[in-house]
Amino acid sequence: MKGFEVIFMAPRSRRPYATSVLDTIAELAREQGIERSTRQTDAEGTSGAGHTHAAHFFGPMAEPEELMFVLDGGAADALIRSVEDRELPVFCLRRAVDYWAFGDL
């Protein structure tokens, strides 16, 4: 199948509301019926402003995290648009992918 990999990246400490920005995005996705995602913590990242984010520098809250979805075009557009509408402070990557699902998922 053809679709898009959509990855949102932010430090764990980024909290525009009571929850982290990636938790907020995960909730937006669930509200849109998107149930599958992958979340990972990275060792280190550098922001566009040149700030380094890493657990070993400032503690675990500074760890960079990624929240990734594989979606069809309409779902990818809708999720990105809702994040943009809320003006959430997050970096987003969207790239075309081919994907398969095998067995009973």
Domain count within the chain: 1
60-75 pLDDT per residue, tens: 556 788 999 999 999 9
Domain boundaries, position 17: 2-98
Q: Which residues contact 81 (CB under 8 A, 6 or more apart)?
A: none
- 105 pLDDT more than 60: yes
For residue 61, being part of any structural domain is answered with yes
CATH number for the domain including 59?
3.30.70.120
Is residue 29 in some structural domain? yes
Residue 49: its pLDDT value, please? 65
